[in-house]
Amino acid sequence: MSAGQKDPLAIGIGALAAGTGLGGATITLAQIFVKLLQGRLDPERYREAAADPLLAGLLAGVAVAGLFGWRRSQALENLWQRGVIGVLAAVGALLVGFLAAVTDRFLMLPGLLVWGALSLAVGVTASRWAIAGSGVEDERQGTGSGV
């Protein structure tokens, strides 16, 4: 691929995976927070400490996923495609959050920490892939000729 040329497939899949990974990491972070709160507080006092951190984390994760899916697919001219990528990223983040709950059930807190780190790593890597597919990175680096 030449410098400055767009790769719509890399943009779309990268934006979708970036939103899914970063949104899923946000939801997993909320689950880790709840797990730590439950370990330190009595079950009766848990609700008094925070209204519902799991619901807040879930909503934040869906918002992060949708926004990153929308933002990273900005190089696509089709508004409909960008919207579909944002919605699918939010659904993917919900799926990652559900799988984090399954991981928590079987592997407990260490597994949840690893799952969150993997989700974050996938989100950051996919974000870089979407940026590279948009051709913006090539334009920033330039050719180095100086002319």
> Higher model confidence: residue 45 or residue 35?
35
Biggest CA-to-CA distance, the chain: 70
Q: Does the structure show a pLDDT above 80 at 3?
A: no
Q: Look up residue 42 and give its DSSP letter.
A: -
Output the pTM of the full model. 0.87
pLDDT, tens digit (0-9, with 9 covering 90-100), for 37-57: 888 877 677 667 666 889 999
Confidence tier at 147 by pLDDT (50, 70, 90): very low
Q: Does the structure show a pLDDT above 60 at 1?
A: no
Predicted pLDDT at 38 = 81
- Burial call 40-62: b when 16+ CB within 10 Å, e when fewer: eeeeeeeeeeeeebbeebbebbb
